[in-house]
Chains A and B, each alone.
Chain A
Amino acid sequence: MKIGFPRALYYFDYYPFWAGFFYNLDIELVTSEPTHRGIMESGLKMAHDETCLPVKLLAGHINSLKDVDYIFLPRMVSVEEKTYLCPKFLGIPESVSAAVDGDIPVITVTINWREGQNQVLKALEAFGLKLGKGKAMIRNAFQEALKWQTMYGELRRSGEDFEESLDLCEKSFTILPRETSLKLAKTNQYKVCENREPRPGIALVGHAYLVNERYANLDLVNKLRANVDLKLIEETETKAVENSLKGLRKKMFWSQAKKILGAGYSYVDDETVDGVIYLSCFGCGMDSVSQDMLARRARKAHKPYMVITLDEHSGEAGLVTRIEAFVDMIVRRIENESNLSAYGKCLDNN
């Protein structure tokens, strides 16, 4: 049996879990190709006009999956206690499969960690039974899947790139001994040459499915890495995220926004971060809240802050202009700071 998994949306956060789950159920998982022009265009044509770019991309990816027995679209309601995922995630099996007409049947399972691990396991058991697998096998697959996801998180925190992490994570459970792949991760880590002059530190925050989606974001991560020392939310410890959100009057309701805002707040206070960039896209309800909250915090701390909004026809020129101007601003600021001692004082008065 072959199951198709679209390389979009939850792929960028939770693929290791699902890859581990299906691997241990002895089911072949086929992912769609990385986004290219054809996928994007078919997605734009099919998806509902008012939805956001990532959901449109999902439609394109579903459409590009051929030669599989089923297409798997999980309904990810919640991935941790007391938070929900984006409402669009909740309705995906219906909303997106309505937009994409194809002959391949869609299978789904509801994942809701708000109800606790037992409920998640129960849902997965029912799902696995339908696929003809035994209960013991499903339980084991669930435990293994959690390990895959944890391993992926560790790799990201060690500074490993997104694609490399996915690759290494998969290998470490399938072919390589665990220790070898961890060692590999350490040698592969992105490092700055030591003899280079110091570069500005910039943190890039935003949804994983925008930051790691290289086609749609015009390879923003590598464009930035060419000029700055880049920090990503995946590299930030969960503890730091939670600590920096302690002052909020109300808990963040959405888990993605919690991660983005928590990491964002910690960057605002971090002296090694000279500026924060928020990558967002049109039509994101969550970002409309967290983007502004982060803007206010950054402004209070006089930390340079910029929002980049993606849409389907993002011209490269506009993006490059903004990045260049932002980096220039920070570099000129740093150069000036070392000449002018009264700089910080002046700034605070204004």
Chain B
Amino acid sequence: MKIFFKLTHHETDPDSIEYGLLPDARFKKSEVGINISPEIIMAQKAIQEFSAKKLIHQNISKYTDHFFQEYQGVQITPDNVDSISLPDFDNGYVAKPDELFGKRGKNNLIFMSNNKTEIIQWIKQKSSQTIKLQVSSVRTIQGKLFTFLVEPKIPHEKEFYLSISSQRDHNVIYFSNKGGVDIEENWNDTIELKIPFTIEPTPLPKLVLDKISAQLSENEKDIVLTFIDALYQLYCELDFTYLEINPFVLTDQGIQMLDCVARLDDTAYYKNSLIWGRAGITFPKPFGGEALPEELVVEQIDSKSGASLKLKVLNRNGSIWMLTSGGGGSVIFADTVGDLGFANQLANYGEYSGNPSTDETEEYADIVIKLMLNSKAKKKVLIIGGGIANFTDIKKTFIGLISAIKQNSQQIKRQGIVIFVRRGGPNYEEGLQLMKTEMQNLDIEAHVFGPETYMTHIIELAVNKL
């Protein structure tokens, strides 16, 4: 079974030292986009190359005595770019952005020099520009670069490819002695090895080691097999979910990883916090994924709450504004807007679920409503939608929604915004009645429905108002 993202997408740049990165492996939709199903915990998260390498260097000695020297890479951010003094490297420096994306060579984002000052100047120059990234033939992303990685340039000959990934009942290793920029062309020489899953780190079976061994020359065997075996156990122990090293090379100083892509299971943070912390593991936002201030506020409320509150603005000047609840349900409301041909009018995606408090709901709704009031669309509708909740208290959350509407009622009325409501669940009758009465009092046009009305019917009604 091929596990990833066909290598045909993989564009390489022979003029650079971009070592055969699998762009899709770096650039997951989920990393760029928004979590549309918050019931699903975003367990697998990409980490920076810098911290991935540090994590491996700091811990691999647990599984091998082989010489594996201290990691020499330096991370450069806006905080330290003016104060940093780079260490002396014999063979010069390589600088590249460390922002969870690949194709850095292709995008002219790798710089080599023997001069420290030049390296820092290049970094300053790149971080002052807005960078447009071509991530696939149809897809570009814009943004600013913040984090860079500077490493010693390592002269070498042979390049090896290694990846480890997780499946339901086994892990998969891909290995090739023809790694580097040509991994794509040489994919047929890559061997695939399946290892049954065990929760305790277990040395690789002899059969697997034999297969890798057959790809190696006598003087490589010992060190490469030890490295892979140790790395595999580290992968299991430290809750990696994906690890790709392309390439690693053999030097007099032992194994050197030239590039590294890794994802960790962030739900395992609590058991790895010390080790991950020592390596400075963070789960940064992907490149170009800078959030609006409003989205950041929601993120803050979300992080403090036991409930789930999410917001992503899709179109600041959209007509259809969503105050939908439930991970699964909110997606279906957004789907229906699209299915009826109004995707371009959809202003935001968002959801609140898990029984948020009245205050949290009010704060969240106020943010969405203010964004809506600022939209330049001529006609606007507000969708307060949700399925039939298992345990979210409808009355409680609706009181929050109503007070947010009240705070902004003058403008809502002036702009002629129409509100559509559909919801069910604990105390829904009281919640819906309250909504009806209050909207009448405020003289705001609102259409309120309960579980007897098909969930997405309000979307049909709403788009007719546009």
- Asked whether A and B interact, the reply is no
